[in-house]
Amino acid sequence: MNFSIHTRILFSALTILILFMGLTGIVLDKAFRNNTDNLQKENLRTQIYTLLAAAEIDANGKFLLPQDMTEPRLNLSESTLHARVTTKDNNVVWQSKSMLNIKLPFVSDIKMGKFSFSNTQINEQTFTLVNFITQWVTDNNEQIYIFQVAENRNVLNSQIIFFRKNLWGWLAGVSFILIVIQTFILRWGLKPLRYVADDLLEMENGKEKRLTAQYPKEITPLTKNLNQLLDSSQQQLTRYRDALGNMAHSLKTPIAVLHGIIERAVTKDKDTALEQIKTINTIVEYQLQRAATVGRLQLAEAINIYPIAEKIINTLGKVYRDKNINAQLDIEKSFVAKIDEGDLFEMLGNIIENAFKWCNKKVSVSAKTINGRIQLIIEDDGPGIDTIKSELILLRGQRADQTTPGHGLGLAMVNDMLLLYKGSMEITQSSLGGAKITITI
């Protein structure tokens, strides 16, 4: 798919931004969870140290801990923190008041003097459990006690959920702000390229001849070279036409001399020689006209059709004054076409001249736009053009010496010129009674 530069860069930036923010969120979320877990374990370890500090053995060797602990949560029945002390034989020697509705699992196979952390399910709730085994030595005997402290993970999970919502909310907000900033930066950075595109569109529509705006130094060589190319193309076209005109002028004199010599000569082949000279002259003029045709230029200047058609009609009206022709020009004065002015003169001149030549009293010239293509329509009320001749005229590459009486050469030249503009010509019957020639460009 052909995406614009702006779309490509913006899509790449959005992809990288999403990946970066996503990874950042995952890393921060994991770091917060690990930190929260570590804080909880450290808190539980502190609770064990508190119990060890408060524990004592009486004179009878009985293990004692106060019922009311300094940690308030251990003294509440509906609490999230629970503690108890058991012997190696799983006999409970002490438990906090918060243990009324909780039963902690008994443990075994833990190392002496080591903290053991684990997660356990109690009453369909998850608890973080820490176990610590110690050996209590007295004068009479020694006893092993297991200290257990458990904390409900709901508090921890609620903190994680709250942090996660805030984290992703802030990341989404920051991402949106960065996207907006990135969009403005891209639009500002690529604005010169849009200026170039707009100027090229103006040139394509025929409103400008050159790139005239001021561009950044990065694209100035491109626009400068493009202007030089346009100037060079126009100069080359001018030199080409001048050379062809000079050649045509040079050929006319020798052909005229030969024509005069043959006419004065008295030979049986005089008519044949004159016919061949006439054929050569026709071929030279036809091929010179074809070579001088500019053809379709993407950046050509748009010209107004109305004044050209009006000038041709006025000129032919004087030439065919005796016929008293009623010529109708139905073209809006603002109607423009991207075509060389000389080519347009040649095409309209040939067709309208044929219409004036073969009409009885009426000639109509109109123009319209259909699906972005220009149509020029020339009609007359003459005898028209039969199907065989019209098909012969429309043959691609029709040679100048393959002409038909009346309409042939002029329409063949027009058809060849239209091929250079990727246009077409259609010959049909006019509502006026004669020929209707439609040029589509």
Token pair, residue 305, equals 């059709």
Q: What is the CA radius of gyration of the chain?
A: 50
Which of 26, 29, 18, 326 shows the shortest CA–CA distance to 161? 29
User: Of 66-80, 257-271, 351-365, 379-393, which one has max mean pLDDT?
Assistant: 351-365
Spatial separation of the C-alpha atoms in residues 356 and 313, rounded to whole Å: 9
pTM of this structure: 0.48
Using 50, 70 and 90 to split pLDDT, how confident is the model at 396? very low
d(CA 109, CA 217): 77
d(CA 389, CA 385): 7
Backbone angles phi, psi at 207, to 5 degrees: -85, -20
Residues 6+ apart with CB under 8 A from 158: none
pLDDT at 208 over 70: no
Question: Quick one: pLDDT band at residue 27, thresholds 50, 70, 90?
Answer: very high
Q: Given this model, what pLDDT does residue 149 score?
A: 93
The type of residue at 388 is I
CB 379 within 8 A of CB 385: no
Q: How confident is the model at residue 139 (pLDDT cuts 50, 70, 90)?
A: low
pLDDT band at 26 (very low <50, low <70, confident <90, very high): very high
- Adjacent-strand bridge partners of 364: 328, 379
pLDDT bucket at 295, cuts 50 / 70 / 90: low
Residue type, 313: I
pLDDT for 269 equals: 63
Per-residue confidence (pLDDT) for residue 59, from 0 to 100: 73
Q: State the pLDDT at residue 283.
A: 59
**Predicted local distance difference test score (pLDDT) of residue 411:** 75
How far, in Å, CA of 435 to CA of 427, rounded?
7
Q: What is the pLDDT of residue 260?
A: 73
**Paired tokens of 29:** 């979320």
CATH 3.65.10.10 fits 303-440, yes or no: no
Structure tokens belonging to residue 80: 């999230």
Whether 341 and 348 have beta carbons less than 8 Å apart is answered as: no
Q: CB-based burial of residue 335 (10 Å sphere; 0-12 exposed, 13-18 middle, 19+ buried)?
A: middle
pLDDT tens per residue across span 212-223 = 667 777 777 777
Q: What is the mean pLDDT of residues 275-279?
A: 67
Report the percent of the chain where pLDDT is more than 90. 10
Query: pLDDT tens digits for 314-340?
Result: 888 888 888 888 889 888 888 888 777
Please enumerate in sequence order all residues whose Cβ is within 8 A of that of 49, keeping only pairs 6 or more positions apart, or say none: none
Distance CA 283, CA 232 (A): 30
- 217-241 pLDDT tens trace: 777 777 777 777 777 777 776 766 6
pLDDT at 364: 92
What residues does each domain of the chain span?
A: 1-189, 220-292, 303-440
pLDDT-derived band at 401 (thresholds 50, 70, 90) equals: very low
What's the CA angle centered on 99, arms 97 and 101, to 5 degrees? 120
Average pLDDT, the chain: 80
Q: How far apart are CA 410 and CA 405, in angstroms?
A: 10
